[in-house]
């Protein structure tokens, strides 16, 4: 019986998107909620510089002791 989990990437763009999002996740540059959006944007090739900035700003995990400025 074949595995019904996420299908393996088949195109070079999909393979590269997987590698990039795995590296971003491993480095904890953004939270896991945003990784899916990044992966899809990379696969489709439609992430702008503004998209990247927003994803990183909103998706950066909070560090212990950090506080938000009012």
pLDDT-based confidence at residue 22 (cuts at 50, 70, 90): very high
Q: How would you class 38 by CB atoms within 10 Å of its CB: exposed for 0-12, middle for 13-18, buried for 19 or more?
A: buried
**pTM (2 d.p.):** 0.64
pLDDT-based confidence at residue 28 (cuts at 50, 70, 90): confident
| Per-residue pLDDT at 2 | 52
Q: How would you class 70 by CB atoms within 10 Å of its CB: exposed for 0-12, middle for 13-18, buried for 19 or more?
A: exposed
Q: How would you class 62 by CB atoms within 10 Å of its CB: exposed for 0-12, middle for 13-18, buried for 19 or more?
A: exposed
Joined together, the tokens standing for residue 54 give 């927003």
| Per-residue pLDDT at 44 | 87
More confident residue, 66 or 46: 46
Using the predicted structure, report yes or no on whether residue 70 has a pLDDT greater than 50. no
């Amino acid at each position: 019986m074949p595995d019904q989990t996420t299908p393996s990437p088949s195109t070079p763009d999909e393979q590269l998107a997987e590698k990039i999002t795995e590296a971003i996740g491993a480095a904890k540059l953004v939270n896991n909620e945003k990784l899916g959006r990044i992966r899809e944007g990379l696969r489709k090739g439609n992430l702008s510089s503004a998209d990247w900035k927003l994803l990183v700003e909103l998706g950066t995990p909070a560090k212990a002791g950090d506080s938000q400025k009012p």
